[in-house]
Amino acid sequence: MAFIFDVMPTGVAIKGSEQRFPVRRIYCVGRNYLEHIHEMKEGDERDRPFFFQKPTDAIVAQGAVVPYPPFTDDFQFEAELVIAIGAQAKNVLVGQALDAVYGYAAGVDLTRRDRQRESFREGKPWEVGKSFDHSAVVGVISPAAEHGHALKGAITLELNGEQRQHGRLEQMIWNPAEIIAQLSQQYVLHPGDLIMTGTPAGVGPLAPGDRVQVFIDGLGPLQFSIGPEE
């Protein structure tokens, strides 16, 4: 089959491999750490998880320079664990959900916070605040078959060498298995899907020249920087 345009597929690096993880969809979990819900003053910890998506070509790789986005005066970071799906999952039970996992990576959900807050107040979708170009930074994927499942441990974000976010994966309201089970009721998950699992408290603004590092116990570190607006 011939196509009228050549579109570059999106992929993420895999630890210890020259092959890349092909990205099909990017799902994101909203408000999955209690302290972050409190700092944002939005929602209730008793709410069921809700999901939104980012476009596949929003992926930014380890070590990249992210251009400061247009249409915002409040560009913020959110450190997150990323789940990489390696098998189809539809209506799976929590006890079998991790069978669908290929691996895990550190990630950052970049957010136009002012646009997100406007959307929240007006009852509109979050896409303008969440689903823009270069908004999904994903580090190197560690395969679960070799490194195990990332269910416990610290998650930390440093901005210009200073700690800004620190939490533990165990503090998730909905853990990875529960997230996959819930999401698989709404969509059929396929190999190549990524799930960003929510952020701990401490989110804050970014500016051109900033350097960001994310550390999650058992996974490779993630590093990137912020450049000027394109």
> Could you please report the per-residue DSSP string of 113-175?
HHHHHHHHHHT--SHHHHSSTT-EEE--BEEHHHH----SSEEEEEETTEEEEEEEGGGBSS-
Is residue 40 situated within a structural domain?
yes
Q: 40 pLDDT band (50/70/90 cuts)? A: low
Query: pLDDT digit string (tens) for 73-117?
Result: 999 999 999 999 999 999 999 999 999 999 999 999 999 999 999
Is residue 27 situated within a structural domain?
yes
Provide the terminal-to-terminal Cα distance of the chain, rounded to the nearest Å. 35
Is residue 149 situated within a structural domain?
yes
Number of domains in the chain: 1
How far apart CA 112 and CA 73 sit, in angstroms, is 8
Q: 90 near 186, Cβ under 8 Å?
A: no
To the nearest whole percent, how much of the chain has pLDDT over 90? 87
Is residue 60 situated within a structural domain?
yes
Look up the CATH number of the domain holding residue 28.
3.90.850.10
Q: 169 near 152, Cβ under 8 Å?
A: yes
Range of the domain at 180: 16-227
Is residue 2 situated within a structural domain?
no
Is residue 23 situated within a structural domain?
yes
Average pLDDT over residues 136-148: 97
What's the pLDDT score for residue 41?
52
Is residue 9 situated within a structural domain?
no
Residue 50's nearest CA partner among 182, 143, 138, 161 is 182
What's the pLDDT score for residue 30?
85
Is residue 1 situated within a structural domain?
no
